[in-house]
Structure 1
Amino acid sequence: MARTKPPDATALYHIGRAYERLNNPIAALAAYQRLLDYHPEGGPLAEASRRRLLQLNTVSP
């Protein structure tokens, strides 16, 4: 089976933001977590994703 490139960090971040705008926090959490799984080295998008994960996890339903 051929290996594929991991998804682009920018695309995953914008997918997460789009899900937030669509009021779907579970899908947004999944997108941000996937970004961190595929790009653990850090960078501005990883830091922004960590902040968004913390914000979404602390919001009461």
Structure 2
Amino acid sequence: MASADANAVTGTPMFFINGKRHHGPYDDVALLTAIEEVAHTQGQERPGRPLPYAAA
């Protein structure tokens, strides 16, 4: 509960990606995109699998 209070969690679901709150849709494509964007900014390679959307 203290962690929720510290992160201003007011309801569920609420997602954090790499310690930062995800503001946006919670569908699988949006969450996967957000996770991959964080991984890319940290120099990690994209997974070797087809993605469910057209990459920009």
- Report the TM-score when normalising by structure 2: 0.33
Flag the structure with higher helix content: 1
Higher RCO, 1 vs 2 (CA within 8 Å, ≥6 residues apart): 1
Flag the structure with higher strand content: 2
- Report the TM-score when normalising by structure 1: 0.31
Structure number with larger C-alpha Rg: 2
